Amino acid sequence: MAAEPPRPRAKRRDPDAARTIRDVAKRAGVSTATVSRVVNGNYPVAAATRASVERAMRELGYVVNAHARALAGSTTRVVGIVVNEIVDPFFAYIARGVQSEAVASGRLCLVCSTQGDQSAELRFVDLLLEQRADAVILVGGAVEDKEYFAAVSQRARQLKAAGSSLVLCGRPGLSSDQSAYAVEYDNAGGAAAITDHLLNAGHTRILYLGGPTALSTTTARLRGFEQALQARKIPFDPALVRTGAFGRQWSYEQTLRALDDGLDFTAVFAANDIVAAGVYAALRDRGLSVPDDVSVVGYDDVPVATELQPALTTVRVPLEELGRAAVRAGLSGQDKNADPFAHQQPVVTLGTVVVVRDSVAPPRS
Amino acid sequence: MAAEPPRPRAKRRDPDAARTIRDVAKRAGVSTATVSRVVNGNYPVAAATRASVERAMRELGYVVNAHARALAGSTTRVVGIVVNEIVDPFFAYIARGVQSEAVASGRLCLVCSTQGDQSAELRFVDLLLEQRADAVILVGGAVEDKEYFAAVSQRARQLKAAGSSLVLCGRPGLSSDQSAYAVEYDNAGGAAAITDHLLNAGHTRILYLGGPTALSTTTARLRGFEQALQARKIPFDPALVRTGAFGRQWSYEQTLRALDDGLDFTAVFAANDIVAAGVYAALRDRGLSVPDDVSVVGYDDVPVATELQPALTTVRVPLEELGRAAVRAGLSGQDKNADPFAHQQPVVTLGTVVVVRDSVAPPRS
DNA sequence: CGGTTTTCTGTAACCGTTTACTAGGAGTGA
DNA sequence: TCACTCCTAGTAAACGGTTACAGAAAACCG
């Protein structure tokens, strides 16, 4: 037998309890429509009415319900971002750009970190789709897999159909599909430029170290590396390419192994600055000095590059701007107040520049 | 006179268009209630029915609308976190813990970064209140201001009234208010321990450098510092405390100034590892060596501590666990499946430990 | 002063789910 | 065969806003 309704609809006693727009309307003696209008300020309301509604809101501690608003309105005021690892400065700086641009557009930022689990990436995109995020930004390299591309492409279309959009950030765009935006940086160009810097110093045997083997980031950097060698007619020796991961520990061990194998090289192109840190540590442990014995360059230009001694010569990637640009691209379809002449290009590419510091010198003798 | 319905309800043409639960219900020939039940699996549904609903969902590419769900249901499956600066490893690691625990509980993580703007902090909390986040976590030191506490306390009550909760993470709890949880670490204890480490090595003139002056983090670390001195009856010299900021640049400049002022000290207690990095750089620029000329210790034990040469002796703070614990605390009121015997304490304090590396030696003669 | 605008405000129909209640039909025991 | 359980499934009322439409009041005009 059902007990009598336990709550006899007691008058609100808790002064902090959540209020609805109806509570405010009642207290101000107006309709909910009017309250909504003063909250949003998108429709004329008489000054006196406005004042009394505002007072009622203040007195009740009214807070709009973002979900009700998202349901009834059309935008959720949330952008989503999916990264591999939020503590990795590469992603952290991009996330910072995303977050700040999102806030600048009056939005909040839902951050998902996959911790390297590739399948989690798409699951997060699906979750962000459930959230009806105004834009979802997929950050970082991707393994270039046919099936995976198809899955991403499908998400892009779903998002688009829902009035949102998918932005690929720091990874190649979907060549076959116009549904996703892409905001890239000149990955191969930067790699070629810094390789050239090494070449200029006289190095010809350069060890390329690090980066997950099938990742687009790795393939692009390697492409630049090879191009630079080719341009100088320097033979490319596959034995001098050792890929696998981005970690410092991994890099430390691989450098040690390369050294102990007696591999012949006078410089190391570390796939990123973290990898370079591992290289430094290994060289130090073997009594080798940078740059006298071995020159080292990195990629990304994150803070560790300047902490390393000697300071690391590396490629600066406009990480934060990448994040901002991604948000702008993703939101380009939403804000109608956006400059109508500023047509969003499906793919924008930001430049990279090599930052010369102290880790490169001519090879010993 | 009401015009005829303007939209003749055209058949959906876009195969990727967002579908509602009604579309699925219609296609499967069941009611929306049934669809909801197969989606949530919280109510018995005949196998055949379930199968046909699942097929309909698949065929239509149905994705539930999280906002409608949040509105009708009671939980939003989102936790919010407010940090000062997402690229700062201190916050990044805490955020990582928060994010992973959130995901483990089936939730997404809304990350807000104030970029040091203190007033933004409360604005973000308000936004998270609008989002009806299941828990909101406020990370990092706070300036201990009466008025500010009152404001935080009010948010805590509002959140609580809404069935959510506020968790203070890495800052002191609201002494006068039971509405907020607090997850702290033994800030003063760690400071005292590492000061003692310096004292043991024979240092008596230790420069305490860095940290915003009024921040709770700073006051707690300074308290530990002074306690350790006191315990050894070493006089505390106010001239040896220079607070102001956490930045590397700031720290670099201040160290240079201290050196150039001829300030008499044999060791530096850097308010955190980033500050220590600045100290290293300044000492290096003045031709001083660590630890032979000056010993240095840091706080937090973030990756830069091991990158510095010599590796930095510092205090390890269980950052990630701090984040996890904060989420658990914040959610303790929600998940009824949680162990009912595990009563959440209003404030939990995690331990800190000093990690001895190579940056401390006895003072020169 | 009546007619026309203009300016505000209210009514009510959604937005897409969840869930308390209700009810039909299949088993079951007598 | 009938009454009584079980299962399942449907109905419809929320949830808390937004907004198209309509109506009332005020301002304007000749």
Q: Label each residue of chain A as H, E or C.
A: CCCCCCCCCCCCCCCCCCCCHHHHHHHHCCCHHHHHHHHHCCCCCCHHHHHHHHHHHHHHCCCCCHHHHHHHCCCCCEEEEEECCCCCHHHHHHHHHHHHHHHHCCCEEEEEECCCCHHHHHHHHHHHHHCCCCEEEEECCCECCHHHHHHHHHHHHHHHHCCCCEEEECCCCCCCCCCEEEEEECHHHHHHHHHHHHHHCCCCCEEEECCCCCEHHHHHHHHHHHHHHHHCCCCCCHHHEECCCCCHHHHHHHHHHHHHCCCCCCEEEECCHHHHHHHHHHHHHCCCCCCCCCEEECCECCCHHHHCCCCCEEEECCHHHHHHHHHHHHHCCCCCCCCCCCCCCCEEEECCEEECCCCCCCCCC
Q: Residue A16 and residue B154: Cβ atoms within 8 Å? A: yes
pLDDT tens-digit series, residues B175-221: 777 889 999 999 999 999 999 999 999 999 999 999 999 999 999 99
For residues A291 and A68, give the distance between their C-alpha atoms in angstroms, rounded to a whole number. Answer: 61
Cβ-based contacts of B127 with chain A (< 8 Å): 108
- pLDDT over 80 at B13, yes or no: no
pLDDT tens-digit series, residues B95-127: 999 999 999 999 999 999 999 898 899 999 999
Counting one residue from chain A and one from chain B, the pairs whose CB atoms sit within 8 A come to 139
Higher per-residue pLDDT: A343 or A33 = A33
Helix or strand (DSSP H, E) at B314: strand B314-316
**Does B119 lie at the interface with A, CB-CB under 8 angstroms?**
no
In 3D, which of B312, B292, B293, B291 has the Cα closest to residue B302? B312
- pLDDT over 60 at A3, yes or no: no
**Does B52 lie at the interface with A, CB-CB under 8 angstroms?**
no
Indicate the residue of A67, A76, A126 with minimum beta-carbon distance to B71.
A67
- pLDDT over 80 at B340, yes or no: no
**Does A136 lie at the interface with B, CB-CB under 8 angstroms?**
no
Closest C1' nucleotide to B72's CA: D15
Q: Residue A307 and residue B308: Cβ atoms within 8 Å? A: yes
Cβ-based contacts of B100 with chain A (< 8 Å): 113, 115
Ranking A196-205, B41-50, B295-304, B348-357 by mean pLDDT, the lowest is B41-50
Closest C1' nucleotide to B2's CA: D21
Cβ-based contacts of B110 with chain A (< 8 Å): 78, 108-111
For residues B326 and B344, give the distance between their C-alpha atoms in angstroms, rounded to a whole number. Answer: 11
In 3D, which of B64, B62, B69, B72 has the Cα closest to residue B28? B62
Q: Residue B67 and residue A303: Cβ atoms within 8 Å? A: no
**Does B127 lie at the interface with A, CB-CB under 8 angstroms?**
yes
Q: What is the pLDDT of residue B23?
A: 95
- pLDDT over 50 at B12, yes or no: no
Q: Residue A87 and residue B109: Cβ atoms within 8 Å? A: no
Give φ, ψ of B91 to 5 degrees.
-75, -35
**Does A66 lie at the interface with B, CB-CB under 8 angstroms?**
yes
CA of B103: which chain A residue's CA is closest? A112
For residues A126 and A103, give the distance between their C-alpha atoms in angstroms, rounded to a whole number. Answer: 23
Q: Residue A131 and residue B67: Cβ atoms within 8 Å? A: yes
User: What is the reported pTM?
Assistant: 0.94
Q: What is the pLDDT of residue B339?
A: 53
